[in-house]
Amino acid sequence: MTLHTVRMKGRDEPIPVGKIVCMGRNYVAHIEELNNERPDAPMFFIKPATALAPIERVRLPAYSEQARHELELAVILDTPLSRCAEADVFPAIAGYAAAIDVTLQDVQERCKAKGHPWEIAKAFDGACPCSDFVPAADVTRPEDLRLTMRVNGETRHDDSTKLMIWSIPELVAAASQYFTLEPGDIVLTGTPAGVGPLAPGDRYEIDVQHVGRFSGEVVRD
C-alpha cells in the first residue's frame, strides 16, 4: 500500500497522513461572496490522503472546465484527539502549512442540482496541494496570521486568520466530536474571502505569515 506523506521542517522522515478534515464557511466575507448562509455550527467534510499534492502545482482533471482556489491554513496533529476539549488542541498540533482546497465548481454545481454527493469536486487526486509543514513552535500567534494569494499578478486572498468565525481550538475540538483525529491527520481551517477561478497556464504566488512563500502553476491532467 502506498503511504501518502508530508514533510516537516527539521525532520528527516516524512509524516504519513491519514485523512484531511476540512472546515467549510469559517470566514464571514467568504460566506457573503458565495451568497451562502452563515452556519450555526462548524461544517466539516473530508478529503482522502490521496488528494495531497505539492503546493507548487495544481493539476485539474479532464472532467472539469471550471475550478477555483481556496487558500487555507493547515494544521497537522501528532497526538490523537477524540471528543476533546478546546484546551487540548494547541498541545496536539505539530505544525502548520499552506494548503489550497481546489474545488471543481462546475462539477460541484451539477452534483448539487441532482442531489448527488460531490466528493468528485472536492476530494479528487490532487485536490489538496499542500506545502511542507513548519513546526508549531516556529509559528507565533497562529490565531492572527496573514494569508495572501495572487494569480497571474492579481491579488485574490489577503486576510488574517483572526477573522475566523471559529478559532483553531474551537473547530478542531468540534471536529473531534465526530471523527477521531489521529497523528498525521491534517485539518484545514477554512478559506478567507477572495476565491477565484483557476485555469491551465495560470501562475500563482502564496504567502502565509511564518509558514512561507510559494509559487506554482496550474496544469491540465
The domain that contains 172 carries what CATH number?
3.90.850.10
What residue numbers bound the domain in which 94 lies?
A: 5-220
Q: What are phi and psi of 148, to 5 degrees?
A: -130, 150
CA angle 198/43/174 to nearest 5° reads: 130
pTM here?
Answer: 0.95
Please give the tally of structural domains in the chain. Answer: 1
Q: What is the pLDDT of residues 141-157, one digit of tens each?
A: 999 999 999 999 999 99
Q: Which residues of 156-190 are buried (b: 16+ CB within 10 A; e: fewer)?
A: bbebebebbbbbbbebbbbbbeeeebebbbbbbbb
Q: What is the pLDDT of residues 175-216, one digit of tens each?
A: 999 999 999 999 999 999 899 999 999 999 999 999 999 999
Q: What is the bridge-based pairing of β-strands 128-130 and 52-54?
A: parallel
Which residue is it, cell 495572487? 150
